């Protein structure tokens, strides 16, 4: 006879599986459109039309401002930006907080064709945690926006003046 604990564990596993499937179904149309846009942009770049069409380096008013990449990895032979496993893990956590190591490894393989084991993901997450960029939250991990810094408490400079 199954105990309540065993039932809850099974139910938790079922819900996690259904959530992953739902995420995959929800992302599918966007991924295919994004893939098509990236291919079109790559074709324009290779044809030398990217600068000519963009107006000499000006950014259109509707385009979001992009900060310059301080130390971007070198592009691969197809002109795409090379991403490190660390970058991809941070991107996956930004899109879907609370993923565990196995789910992150699956996303890296699915989205970027980067086969990574959950153990490798775990090591990278531990490094990110020591740097204050990620944090364990229950069974999964979440991305922290800014590194957690030790801040000293500064004394208050306010002065209480009687009568005011």
> What's the Rg (C-alpha) of the chain?
23
- Give the chain's length: 164
Distance CA 117, CA 124 (A): 11
> Is 12 part of any domain?
yes
> Is 157 part of any domain?
no
Question: Do residue 47 and residue 92 come from a single domain?
Answer: no
Indicate the number of domains in the chain: 2
> Is 117 part of any domain?
yes
Distance CA 153, CA 155 (A): 6
pLDDT of 8-43, one tens digit each?
999 999 999 999 999 888 888 888 888 889 888 888
> Is 27 part of any domain?
yes
> Is 67 part of any domain?
no
> Is 124 part of any domain?
yes
Q: What is the CATH number of the domain that holds 92?
A: 1.10.10.10
Scored b (16 or more CB within 10 A) or e, 55-72 reads: eeeeeeeeeeeeeeeeee
Range of 47's domain? 1-51
The model's pTM: 0.43
pLDDT of 35-66, one tens digit each?
889 888 888 888 776 565 555 555 555 555 55
């Amino acid at each position: 006879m199954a105990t309540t604990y065993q039932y809850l564990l099974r139910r938790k596993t079922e819900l996690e599986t259904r959530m992953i499937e739902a995420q995959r179904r929800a992302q599918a149309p966007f991924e295919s459109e994004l893939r098509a846009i990236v291919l079109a942009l790559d074709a324009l770049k290779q044809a030398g039309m990217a600068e000519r069409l963009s107006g000499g380096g000006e950014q259109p008013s509707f385009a979001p401002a992009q900060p310059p990449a301080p130390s971007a990895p070198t592009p691969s032979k197809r002109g795409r930006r090379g991403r490190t496993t660390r970058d991809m893990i941070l991107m996956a956590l930004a899109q879907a907080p609370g993923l565990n190591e196995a789910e992150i490894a699956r996303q890296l393989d699915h989205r970027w064709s980067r086969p990574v084991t959950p153990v490798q993901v775990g090591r990278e997450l531990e490094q990110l945690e020591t740097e204050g960029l990620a944090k364990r939250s229950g069974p999964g991990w979440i991305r922290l926006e800014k590194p957690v810094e030790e801040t000293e408490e500064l004394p208050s400079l306010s002065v209480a003046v009687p009568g005011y």
